[in-house]
Amino acid sequence: MPVWKKGLGLQKVREVRICHEGRWAKKHLESVITAYRKAPYLSEHLEFLEKIFSEKNETLMGLNLAVIDYLMKALEIQTRVVLLSDLHVPSTGSRRLVDICKKLGAGQFIAQAPAKKFIDEKLFWDAGIELTYFTSRPPIYPQLWGDFIFNLSVFDLVLNCGPKAHDILVNS
């Protein structure tokens, strides 16, 4: 998705604006429809896809939040979403993670195993926050063509599996 960046330097994520010039939105939508034309649940999500590519969302963050909200509903995920920018945590690195946990009242921080080499575990220990690592395994589910392809968009799961997508995620 094209965004405005020339002459803007480093932008905060919430400031990144979508560039609506050209035909990219129509082309993207056509590509999704072509790729998933035979997906069993395309028709259930087509209205949202058409809306997301036809609306002139001003910011990339606004678009991303709309997609996240839609997918959370489609996948029956009921959790609170908190934006980092709303927490006003000025620290960086591992200190930022600890400060976020404190701000949210979290007693545990869960991170993917590869992040271990970047995390200062002592900061968590000193703050009394349990640090847990996990290794994720992407779920395997029915796809349209050939051998299973890992790590596609979550839309691939939703368009291929519909209401079963929630259970597939939970059971993986």
Whether the pLDDT of residue 109 is over 90: the answer is yes
Q: What percentage of residues in the chain have a pLDDT greater than 90?
A: 83
Q: What percentage of residues in the chain have a pLDDT greater than 70?
A: 100
Helix (H) or strand (E) holding 119: none
CA distance 161 to 44: 11
What's the pLDDT score for residue 163?
96
Section 30-40 average pLDDT:
96
CA distance 136 to 117: 17
Section 22-29 average pLDDT:
94
Q: Give pLDDT tens digits for 137-156.
A: 889 999 998 899 998 999 99
What's the pLDDT score for residue 145?
87
What's the pLDDT score for residue 168?
95
Q: Give pLDDT tens digits for 40-91.
A: 999 999 999 999 999 888 999 999 999 999 999 999 999 999 999 999 999 9
Whether the pLDDT of residue 116 is over 80: the answer is yes
CA distance 139 to 169: 6
Whether the pLDDT of residue 7 is over 80: the answer is no
Whether the pLDDT of residue 98 is over 90: the answer is yes
Give the list of residues 6+ apart from residue 47 with CB closer than 8 angstroms, or none. Answer: none
What's the pLDDT score for residue 136?
85
CA distance 66 to 46: 15
| pTM score, whole prediction | 0.87
Whether the pLDDT of residue 6 is over 80: the answer is no
